[in-house]
Amino acid sequence: GAGVSQTPSNKVTEKGKYVELRCDPISGHTALYWYRQSLGQGPEFLIYFQGTGAADDSGLPNDRFFAVRPEGSVSTLKIQRTERGDSAVYLCASSRTSGSYNEQFFGPGTRLTVL
């Protein structure tokens, strides 16, 4: 079946602009995660959704970052007033449910470049 998809694959924006990054999880997966990966580092957790609600947003770096999942499927990560330090690959993952025995399936990521 189809895996996790993310759009766009690349996004270049200017400092101060607003961006939206989209994630389509695997159909039927109730858990959805966003991670951010800077060059040369492992991915860092941002936020976790169980269904429509954000169950854990402790990884969001500040209030410029926000994510939604209104119908419990597609999710959008929104970044306001982008800064150069926001440049990274943003990864989305989904799993059938949450829990430490569940594997997470990752999308290919969106590479965000803030000029």
Min dist. Cβ of residue 108 to other proteins (A): 5
Does position 28 interact with other proteins (CB under 8 A)? The reply is no
Contact yes or no for 6/95 (Cβ under 8 A)? no
Q: How many residues touch other proteins (CB under 8 A)?
A: 28
3-state DSSP of 37-57: ECCCCCCEEEEEEECCEEEEC
Does position 44 interact with other proteins (CB under 8 A)? The reply is yes
Per CB under 8 A, the segment of 12-20, 43-51, 63-71, 74-82 that binds other proteins is 43-51
Measured CA to CA, the distance from residue 87 to residue 97 in angstroms comes to 30
Token reading at 96: 């059938």
Does position 57 interact with other proteins (CB under 8 A)? The reply is no
Does position 63 interact with other proteins (CB under 8 A)? The reply is no
**Residues forming the site for other proteins (CB under 8 A):** 4, 31, 33, 35, 40-45, 48, 56, 59, 91, 93, 95, 98-109
